[in-house]
Structure 1
Amino acid sequence: MNHHIQSRIDGFCQRFGLRLPILLAPMAGACPPSLSIAVANAGGLGACGALLLQPPAMHAWAQEVRSQSNGAFQMNLWVPDPAPLRDPAAEAEMADFLGQWGPRVAPGAGDAPLVDFAAQCDALLAAAPPIVSSVMGLYPPEFVARLKAAGIAWWANISTLAEARAAEAAGADAVVAQGMEAGGHRGCFVAGEAEAGMVGSLSLIPAVADALAIPVIATGGIADGRGVAAALMLGASAVQIGTGFLRSPEARLPPAWAAALALTPPEGTAVTRAFSGRAGRGIATQYLRAAAAADAPRPAPYPIQRGLTQAMREAAVNSGNLSAMQAWAGQSAMLARPEPAGELVARLWQDAQGWLG
């Protein structure tokens, strides 16, 4: 392997207590402790997407992973947006539309509140993970100061070069450069610019690596050894993988979703706001395509849309109905394999080393 690449990887792994530069992506709603335990024990980094978790659940997650692994994990929070504008007539129209795809939307469904961000920040500090990460913006300076005082590293998810520079200036210890290929929600700082600012990993990784002094972690569209090697050659110090782990048994994904990943080509995914009100990439199911039609109602802002679609999403999972399921997937979904997560980590790294020479 090239000396510069090797020293970059070694420095990163040494700093963050890893044996391998392969990290699990923090996927809210799809990151059970079992998955992180397997990845961490294989030498990588586990992850908790804590967006949906109340503080006691955050503590429980950290305690379970810590007790059954080497303790290498990150915990991730969304930085909240300003309160969205409400449009009752538009929300009612969306509720009627959603009733075609699932149960009738209950009155007040769009009022479902977010978990209190300040309480989650306190819970993050109390859980004391070695690493925390932010997405959808930067943590406030006072919270960054509390993290640094506690000796907790901060990684900032970014989707553009401008966001990366802002993260470094704000004190981030590393950036997670997320290409537009990524499944689920992308970490765009300005919600309304997500679709217009779609930068692919092949362009984003070297641009950020050249501009910043802090390490770059590459994510988005990486699901096999070739992708790992390519990201490292482009300047990344490590890679973060989401969709590539979703077919592992430890991910405990709904079977219809897991099976569909194997059949989803790169063009079989699409970016939509129809599940949460924020742009996210998922399998182009019947609901997703219908919601994109010219005569379909426009999605409500986040998190109102998430509340409106909750009954539909839950019913789809319970019945195994992929057509209305929130089946997030990146563009490399077909490369995901149904093998144990620990074995997957080892194979990814072995294959990547073969490509790197």
Structure 2
Amino acid sequence: MEWKNELTRLLGITYPLIQAPMLGITTPAMVAAVSNSGGLGSLPVGGLPPEKVTALIREVKALTQQPFAVNLFTYEPASWHDRKVFDDMQDFLQFLCGANGLAAPPVNFDSVPYYSWKVQLPVLIAAGVKYVSFTFGMPDAEGFALLKEHKIWLMGTATSVEEAVALKTAGADAIIAQGIEAGGHRGSFLPGELPKTGTMALVPQVIDRVRMPVIAAGGIMDGRGVAAAKMLGAAAVQTGSIYLRAHESAATPAHKAALAGITDTDTLLTRAFSGRWARGVRNTFITEVEASGLPVSGYPYQDVLTQPIRKVARELDNTAFINMWAGQAAGKARAWSTADIFAELVRETELLLP
């Protein structure tokens, strides 16, 4: 089959296969393995301090000479957060930890850290990053101008046609159309009800409206998904859940084992861990937070509030209290090396589209 298209040429890659940036799961080794295999690896740096971003980019560059993207969280936090909502949730979480033998320290509301994408841009520019994807929103006009000035190619995440149009108007070079099947955080950013359109319905509608490269994301786990996306007109696919159990994944052993046993109905959308809607495997933490009836702080406050619990749970390899982000088809993920998973995806697709 013919893999090359306008997008592969623009990105300098062999296959129009992009690894989704999964903060907390994706490692520099995973990014490099995909890029070295001919796809586009994606390094997630959302919310990380500039010095950490610098270190991660250096790690990837030490492992590959091929193109890779860096993913940003492009949003501005609300100017005001309800301290009582934060404190009430913290009291509940401290009780929950105590009842389950977890020693997680409390978080100081007044010292919740926030590292904007704006303070990360100088790092990306200094490192010579040429491909950037973004989610949770989009850069402002000044940000777009700075990125364009340095000839950085931009991929924005949309969960609706309206969001895709907004991204095109603002200056994005390609649209990542994220269906409701996708694991992890929703890229939704416009006011109103959370878009819940499936990948198969979303992709062709976005393509028809924006007339620019569109990357299909959500529920794609094998060659059948790649072939279907190509038939819909997608210029590329972005896959994340397919790599959750990879050797290079940062998921803990119990986390990987839990993913092996899930089915199509075992994931749900929740704000319990971060304050933003995200798809993951239901566990004790999600169940207890939702059953509490307490309001949830917005991102990044809820995210920072739950970090100590997740850290302790990860150290104990306790999946009941960590966020196990996963798509609706994540049960098909294989415990192989990233390179082998990628190669199998190519092989399966070529069998279907000779």
Which residue of 2 is the match for residue 349 of structure 1? 346
The RMSD of aligned alpha carbons is 1.8
* 8 Å contact kept, 1:109–1:307: no
Deviations 1:199-223 (A, max 9, x none): 1101111111122221001111111
The Cα of 1:83 is off from its aligned counterpart by: 2.2
Deviation at 1:116, TM superposition (A): 3.5
Of the three residues 242, 245, 249, the one matched with 1:244 is 242
**Whole-angstrom CA distance in 2 between matches of 1:327 and 1:313:** 10
Aligned mates of 1:53, 1:108 — CA distance in 2: 19
Q: Which residue of 1 aligns with 2:72?
A: 77
Partner SS, residue 157 of structure 1? strand
2:318 matches 1:321 = yes
Give the 3-state SS of the residue equivalent to 1:292 in structure 2: helix
- Equivalent residue for 1:119? 119
- In structure 2, the CA distance between the partners of 1:157 and 1:63, relative to structure 1 (3 Å rule), is same
Which string of whole-angstrom CA distances, capped at 9 and with x for unpartnered residues, describes residues 31-75 of structure 1? 211001111111111111111322222222222222321331111
TM-score by length of 1: 0.93
Match of 1:283 in 2: 281
Which of 87, 91, 98 is the aligned partner of 1:92? 87
Residue of structure 1 equivalent to 2:263: 265
Report how many aligned residue pairs link the two structures. Answer: 349
**Match status 1:334 vs 2:331:** yes
Give the superposition deviation at 1:309: 0.8
* Cα distance in 2 for residues equivalent to 1:33 and 1:76: 13
Report the counterpart of residue 208 of structure 1 in structure 2.
Answer: 206
2:231 is aligned with what amino acid? M
Deviation at 1:111, TM superposition (A): 4.0
Q: 1:182 to 1:332 in 2, by over 3 A?
A: same
**Whole-angstrom distance in 2 between the partners of 1:254 and 1:110:** 31
After TM superposition, the structure 1 = structure 2 runs for residues 1-357 of structure 1, keeping only pairs within 5 Å, are: 6=2, 9-83=4-78, 85-99=80-94, 100-101=96-97, 102-103=102-103, 105-108=105-108, 111-190=111-190, 193-194=193-194, 197-293=195-291, 295-357=292-354
Q: Deviations over 1:63-101 (max 9, x none)?
A: 222232133111111112342533333322211221214
Q: Secondary structure at the match of 1:56?
A: helix
Contact 1:12 1:237 in 2 (8 A): yes
Distance 1:148 1:188 in 2: 23
Structure 1 position 107, deviation (Å): 4.8
Percent identity at matched positions?
A: 38
Q: Quick check: 2:75–2:139 contact (8 Å CA) kept in 1?
A: no
Structure 2 residue identity aligned to 1:148: K
| Unmatched segments (≥5 aa) in structure 2 | none
SS of 1:282 mapped into structure 2: strand
Task: Tell me which amino acid in the other structure corresponds to 1:216.
Answer: V
| CA distance, structure 2, for counterparts of residue 218 and residue 262 of structure 1 | 24
Separation (CA, whole Å) in 1 of partners of 2:104 and 2:245: 31
1:246 counterpart letter in structure 2: L
Ranges in structure 1 where 5+ consecutive residues have no aligned partner: none
Matched residue SS, 1:251: coil
Deviation at 1:110, TM superposition (A): 7.2
Q: 1:328 & 1:306 partners in 2: Cα distance? A: 14
